[in-house]
Amino acid sequence: MSAEHSSITTSTANRGWIVTFAGLGINLALGVLYAWSMFKDAITKEFGWSGSQLNDPYTLCCLVFAAAMVFAGRCQDKLGPRVTATLGGLLIGGGLILISTTNSYALWLVGFGVLGGLGMGFGYSSATPPALKWFPPAKTGLIAGLVVAGFGLAPVYLAPLSKYLVQHYQLQKSMLILGSGFLVAIVGLSQLLVNPPAGYVASATAKPAPTGLTPGEVVRTSGFWVLWLIYFAGAGAGLMVISSISGMAKTTMKESAFIAVAVMAIGNAGGRIAAGLLSDKIGRRWTLMLVLLFQAVLMFVAIPVTKSTEGAKYVIVLVATLIGFNYGANLSLFPSFAKDLWGLKNFGMNYGILFTAWGAGSLLSSVAQRLKASSGNFDSSFQTAAALLIVGAALTFLIKSKKAE
């Protein structure tokens, strides 16, 4: 190999990793969604909100996030990741800055729910596609896992940071600080997101990427709807817990409940990378089935753990971490499925359509809040989630097995 060729190969490989870690950084900022449970007490104390109001901006944000992924995916496919992610940074930053000026329930729905959700959709949809295009199929799971790990890992720093900001600056000024910081970080990192040049092949032995299916062709396949239902079950079960984990942990951990949020986030991020790696080795279908079954078992285990008032401090952190791990696995497996089955040409919009399952699953967080309000505990929420996960695991047998080549 000539010195010139070696230099070019090294340069392109480095560019791929730069794009991957820029995407991870963008997702670290977008993951403010998973810190919502840390803001609930401050909202109740400073604004006097109660009941479903506490979860409504979060739920709306999830729904808008999922819906925006379809249009943002189209934008990413046509205009490229840099423009799309920059729009995402402006939207989410602007949304948080807006809610820093008001305690109006309606404006929080607009700022966090609508603008925040749109920003997450445009930013998230732009982070993974360019990274995947720089690497061969055998690394699809790993790269997808690394990029989306940022979203899951965000509460590791956001939980203690949010707690500190709210204690020292109150809620609204905290939102101003976070919104300004995220706007600068996301817009800056967006400039590093670039697709490979035309005709680029990820390795000497790799075949050129297939043309891929159009969104219209994808939704006409039975495999798409099977994946959609499984994604709904897996994501919904995880979001039921994530949106309320701080409240669950307060029973045993009191003011240290933010630790459970942060540790679960480590599990969430770790699950994305580990599942991506494992699926590159044993195949996506088997990895997904194992994840769903393990998560179902954890839902039953969580029932006595979250009701315990003493001696369960470390157990609830462990259970929360494992639940986060399994939930996170979904977020690397499903984009990998989308690339494997439908190609990269229309990946942004194809995965955006599949991601609507995540948005539908987020509705279960409001269901969990209402079940908790009516029963006084989380038992029925965990039982519902476990049933969904078992159904999802059974549906994996309808997926065509495709091991990474």
Write the class of the CATH domain 15-193+216-398: mainly alpha
Q: What's the angle, vertex CA 85, arms to CA 80 and CA 143, rounded to 5? A: 80
Q: Any idea where the domains of the chain sit in the sequence? A: 15-193+216-398
66-122 tens-digit pLDDT: 999 999 999 999 999 999 999 999 999 999 999 999 999 999 999 999 999 999 999
- DSSP code of 310? S
Give the pLDDT of residue 357.
Answer: 93
E-strand spans in 170-321? Answer: none
The Cα 211–Cα 222 span in angstroms is: 20
Measured from the Cβ of residue 185, the count of other Cβ atoms closer than 10 Å reads 17
**C-alpha distances in Å from residue 298, one per residue of 292, 308, 387:** 10, 16, 12
Give the pLDDT of residue 265.
Answer: 82
Low-confidence ranges of the chain (pLDDT < 70): 1-13, 202-211, 242-258, 306-313, 366, 368-378, 401-405
Q: Provide the greatest CA pair distance for the chain.
A: 71
CB 55 within 8 A of CB 365: yes
Give the pLDDT of residue 29.
Answer: 93
Give the pLDDT of residue 243.
Answer: 63
Give the pLDDT of residue 82.
Answer: 97
The Cα 400–Cα 384 span in angstroms is: 27
In the three-class reduction of DSSP (H, G, I as helix; E, B as strand; rest coil), residue 205 is classed as: coil
Give the pLDDT of residue 26.
Answer: 97
**C-alpha distances in Å from residue 382, one per residue of 114, 139, 271, 302, 368:** 29, 34, 20, 7, 9
Q: What's the angle, vertex CA 99, arms to CA 97 and CA 102, rounded to 5? A: 125
What's the half-sphere exposure (Cβ side, CA atoms, 13 Å) at 294?
20
CB 113 within 8 A of CB 182: no
113-142 tens-digit pLDDT: 999 999 999 999 999 999 999 999 899 999
CB 341 within 8 A of CB 219: no
Here the tokens at position 403 are 């091991």
| Helix ranges, 191-256 (H) | 215-218, 222-242, 245-253
Q: What percent of the chain stands above pLDDT 90? A: 57
